[in-house]
Amino acid sequence: MESSEEDGGVPLSRMAEWRDVTPLRQDDGPNPVVPITYKEEFRETMDYFRAIYKADERSPRALRLTRRAIHLNPGNYTVWHFRRLVLEALNTDLDEELDFIQRIANSNSKNYQLWHHRRWVIERLGSNARSKELHLIKSILSLDAKNYHAWSHRQWVLQALGGWEDELDYCRQLLEQDIFNNSAWNQRYFVVTRSPFLGGLPAMRASEVRYSVEAIVVNPNNECPWRYLRGLYKDDIESLVNDREILSICLKPSQELRDAVVALWTSDTRPLDADLATAICDILEHVDSLRASYWIWRKNKLRIAA
Amino acid sequence: MATRDPLDFDVGVEEDEDGAPSPSSPLSYFERDRHVAFFGMLYDLMPYHYQSQEINRLTLAFFTISGLHLLKALDRVDKDRVASWVLSFRAHPINQAELKNGQFYGFHGSRMSQFPPDENGVSVCNAGHLASTYCALAILKTVGFNILTIDKESILISMRNLQQPDGSFMPVHLGAETDLRFVYCAAAICFMLEDWSGMDREKTKDYILNCQSYDGGFGLMPGLESHGGGTYCAVASLRLMGYIEDDLLSKNATSSIINVPLLLDWCMQRQAIDGGFQGRANKSSDTCYAFWVGAVLRILGGYKFIDKIALRGFLLTCQSEFGGFSKYPRELPDLYHSYYGCTAFSLLEEPGLNPLCAELGMTDLAALGIL
């Protein structure tokens, strides 16, 4: 049973338990580049780790040592790998391991090795671990709703173990909290297109269009629902382009744009699509001046195509 | 002042227990000499704040050495010494048979994971890593070493052990996450070694294409949110592999394998009102995305569209009076953001900097093997 407290920084060389082990110094060689001034605790811990690792000692004290080493360098994939070997050899309770990872995650929620290790544990626990895992990811996302690692892990859990039923609703909740959360919009797309319970994009498109258009009207300066709307018509852009109803709803928020479009629609000559697009590029060149060069280029491309 | 993997995006800056970052006003020009001093200092000695990065030692070395090269200050580096040091990280198979044992005989990232062979010459605990191998080769090229003279066969044959059925790459045989970062490393390694036998290119391409999101950018894995770093890894890899042409937009060519207009539009929208680049929609601008997204635009031929003055203004607010760059304005600098801040200034064609090879993330000179 691993102790839940750290060893309190007591040097390993002063512990009776480690008396029989000769620490293995890191051999940096004669002319190391970017030498690091390790703190003594770090150097010592890693010297003992090297000794245990080389000897391939898969014991309870080795497990404790990996924990100490992980606290000092949680990005060290060699330590995590060895910890897995020891966990397997000792047939350790993996639910306890999840608790351990969670404690480390509090200060290392953006660490790749930690999440990979978590995945390894969950793979062994199987679908029994599913709802607890989805719940844990939610709690991490509640602290940072855009944590890329958490979202990656969540998508993996859903695909490997299921749990899709509540996911669309979870996306809705997150978007209610922050309609600008692009991670939540992305997850929504993920669920809509991949959930085995929803029938895929064709079945979901109408309701998703309504959802995204609503979001556009409320916050037309939010990039997310615009791209999401377009994404709903991924392989069928013609349908979006020809849907006057959607387009007129989307035009509502911008007086300037609406005036330009109306001017073209009510002009004597039947407006070519290219004229409308050109007018839009002109407007954007001024209202989105950060990207003026881009809009000018887009406009010129239209002229070439016409 | 900790950093992580070379491609570990969204890193934060560790601050000292008592330290609030210095709120000095931005310097109004690119302070080359301070950056040279910053990289030079770290090249000579790194403070304990970086000890958690020991496992990525070669990456830290790459940032300092390539950083100095960008700043035309490579004379500070003892090139032969560096080459010997880097070569000593090589994982060597005993014989050809070992190349099929699942391990990767590239370069270790650190002495920490490297042990001398035992009495019988058996190598213990090989942990050759794709990212370390990329960094190793990049450093060797930077210091003028001819990497075609090393045993590349064992690198390339054993690299195949790391490729997954879906086309992605695991970075190390011990087991780790697989995502576009390591696809990029694998592609860059093959490109630098001028030999694509290290991977199944079709499968790799398919994996990359599966990572393109509905909004045109690329996520780090299929289904994930489009992300500046993921987009760089995808586009640079496709370019290195030859699946997309150089400067697509200027040639009015359209790529048939990725949705270029949508990708371009996504990239352009990443420049925020403060002039900096964000890694994802509705997130804060961060120094390094001026490289990750900027380089994508450069590869596509669309870098000319960005507002360079606004970008420069933002980057200068991230420039530290101590030398180097921070992730966000007026914070403490770290090595990772310092390197990518300099690559961003190279893309901006700042006078006094060496030109950048956008696809390889290092100087053109190094990429071409010119000392």
Amino acid at position A156, single letter: W
Domain assignment of residue A293, yes or no: no
CB crowding B108-125: b at 16 or more within 10 Å, else e: bbbbbbbbeeeeeeebeb
Q: What is the dihedral of CA B342, B344, B350, B356, to 10 degrees?
A: 90
Measure the CA–CA gap between A245 and B144, rounded to whole angstroms. Answer: 62
Domain assignment of residue B314, yes or no: yes
- Asked if A27 lies within 8 A of B48 by C-beta distance, the reply is no
Domain assignment of residue B50, yes or no: yes
- Asked if B51 lies within 8 A of A155 by C-beta distance, the reply is no
Measure the CA–CA gap between B204 and B191, rounded to whole angstroms. Answer: 14
In three state form, how does the secondary structure of B177-189 look?
CCCHHHHHHHHHH
Measure the CA–CA gap between B76 and B43, rounded to whole angstroms. Answer: 9
Measure the CA–CA gap between A293 and B307, rounded to whole angstroms. Answer: 8
Which residue from B88, B115, B280 is facing A182, i.e. has the nearest CB? B280
Domain assignment of residue A300, yes or no: no
Q: Which domain holds residue B180?
A: 40-116+126-368
In this predicted structure, what is the pLDDT of residue A204?
Answer: 95
Answer whether residue B12 shows pLDDT above 50. no
Which residue from B43, B124, B213 is facing A33, i.e. has the nearest CB? B43
Q: Which one has a higher pLDDT value, A18 or B118?
A: A18
Measure the CA–CA gap between A171 and A231, rounded to whole angstroms. Answer: 17
Among B214, B260, B166, B180, CA closest to A190: B214
Say how many CB pairs under 8 Å bridge A and B. 185
pLDDT tens digit sequence for A194-222: 999 999 999 999 999 999 999 998 998 99
Domain assignment of residue A28, yes or no: yes
Residues of A in contact with B219 (CB under 8 A): 186
Q: What's the CA angle centered on A192, arms A186 and A193, to 5 degrees?
A: 90
Residue to substitute from A25, A33, A123, A186, interface B, most B β-carbons within 10 A: A33
Q: What is the mean pLDDT of residues B305-311?
A: 98
Residue to substitute from B87, B112, B293, interface A, most A β-carbons within 10 A: B112
Amino acid at position B95, single letter: N
Token pair of B64 as six digits: 């300092």
| Min distance B359 CA to chain A CA atoms (Å) | 22
Domain assignment of residue B207, yes or no: yes
Measure the CA–CA gap between B8 and B3, rounded to whole angstroms. Answer: 8
Distances (CA, A) of A244 to A231, A249, B89: 18, 9, 63
| Min distance B273 CA to chain A CA atoms (Å) | 8
Q: What percent of chain A has pLDDT over 90?
A: 71
Amino acid at position A232, single letter: L
Domain assignment of residue A217, yes or no: no
Query: Residues B241, B233: contact at Cβ < 8 Å?
Result: no
**Rg of chain A on CA atoms, in Å:** 28
| Min distance A269 CA to chain B CA atoms (Å) | 30
Side-chain half-sphere CA neighbours of A277 within 13 A? 16
Distances (CA, A) of A158 to A120, A154, A187, B179, B214: 15, 6, 11, 18, 20
Domain assignment of residue B264, yes or no: yes
- Asked if A222 lies within 8 A of B172 by C-beta distance, the reply is no
In this predicted structure, what is the pLDDT of residue B184?
Answer: 98
pLDDT tens digit sequence for B252-291: 666 679 999 999 999 999 999 999 999 999 999 999 999 9
Rounded to 5 degrees, φ, ψ at A115 are -70, -35
How many residues in chain B? Answer: 371
Q: What is the DSSP letter of A21?
A: -
- Report residue B237's pLDDT band, with 50, 70 and 90 as the boundaries: very high
Amino acid at position B10, single letter: D
- Asked if B282 lies within 8 A of A36 by C-beta distance, the reply is no
- Asked if A36 lies within 8 A of B57 by C-beta distance, the reply is yes
Sign (positive or negative) of CA dihedral B269, B273, B275, B277: negative
Q: What is the mean pLDDT of residues A53-82?
A: 95
Domain assignment of residue A274, yes or no: no
Domain assignment of residue B3, yes or no: no
pLDDT tens digit sequence for A278-289: 888 988 998 899
- Asked if B174 lies within 8 A of A77 by C-beta distance, the reply is yes
- Asked if B282 lies within 8 A of A46 by C-beta distance, the reply is no
Side-chain half-sphere CA neighbours of B84 within 13 A? 9
Strand ranges for A128-203 from DSSP E: none
**Residue numbers of A annotated as active site:** 110
Measure the CA–CA gap between B142 and A261, rounded to whole angstroms. Answer: 55
Residues 6+ apart with CB under 8 A from A217: A249, A250, A252, A253
Answer whether residue B339 shows pLDDT above 70. yes
Q: What is the mean pLDDT of residues B113-117?
A: 76
The answer to whether B324 faces chain A, any CB pair under 8 Å, is no
Side-chain half-sphere CA neighbours of B80 within 13 A? 0
Q: Which B positions 34-73 lie with beta carbon below 8 A of chain A?
A: 42-48, 50-57, 60-61, 64-65
Domain assignment of residue A68, yes or no: yes
Side-chain half-sphere CA neighbours of A73 within 13 A? 29
pLDDT tens digit sequence for A11-67: 999 999 999 999 999 888 878 999 999 999 999 999 999 999 999 999 999 999 999
- How many domains, chain A? 1
Mean pLDDT, chain B, rounded, equals 91
The CATH number of whichever domain residue B239 belongs to comes to 1.50.10.20
Domain assignment of residue A114, yes or no: no
Domain assignment of residue A25, yes or no: yes
Helical H segments across A219-271, by residue range: 223-232, 237-241, 244-251, 255-265
Among A107, A100, A98, A108, CA closest to A135: A98
> How would you class B69 by CB atoms within 10 Å of its CB: exposed for 0-12, middle for 13-18, buried for 19 or more?
buried
Measure the CA–CA gap between B305 and B286, rounded to whole angstroms. Answer: 19
Among B217, B219, B206, CA closest to B9: B219
Q: Which domain holds residue A44?
A: 1-92
Residues of A in contact with B51 (CB under 8 A): 36-39, 42, 72-73
3-state SS assignment for residue B258? coil
Query: Residues B310, A292: contact at Cβ < 8 Å?
Result: no
- Asked if A290 lies within 8 A of B271 by C-beta distance, the reply is yes
Token pair of A61 as six digits: 């004290």
Measure the CA–CA gap between A171 and A155, rounded to whole angstroms. Answer: 13
Residue to substitute from B274, B305, B312, B339, interface A, most A β-carbons within 10 A: B305
**Rg of chain B on CA atoms, in Å:** 20
How many residues in chain A? Answer: 306
Domain assignment of residue B57, yes or no: yes
Domain assignment of residue B307, yes or no: yes
Among A229-233, A238-242, B169-173, B225-229, the range scoring the smallest mean pLDDT is A238-242
Task: Count other C-beta atoms under 10 Å from residue A85's C-beta.
Answer: 15
Distances (CA, A) of A216 to A190, A210, A247: 20, 10, 11
Long-range contacts of A271-277 (CB under 8 A, 24+ apart): A272/A306, A274/A302, A274/A303, A274/A305, A274/A306, A277/A302
- How many domains, chain B? 1
| Min distance B305 CA to chain A CA atoms (Å) | 5
Query: Residues A167, A137: contact at Cβ < 8 Å?
Result: no
Task: Give chain A's end-to-end CA distance (angstroms, integer).
Answer: 75
Q: Which one has a higher pLDDT value, B7 or B173?
A: B173
Measure the CA–CA gap between A149 and A152, rounded to whole angstroms. Answer: 5
Q: What is the mean pLDDT of residues B354-362?
A: 98
- Asked if B51 lies within 8 A of A50 by C-beta distance, the reply is no
In this predicted structure, what is the pLDDT of residue B124?
Answer: 65
Query: Residues B263, A126: contact at Cβ < 8 Å?
Result: no
Token pair of A30 as six digits: 């004669």
Q: What's the CA angle centered on B167, arms B163 and B170, to 5 degrees?
A: 40
3-state SS assignment for residue B357? strand
ipTM for the whole predicted complex goes beyond 0.90: yes
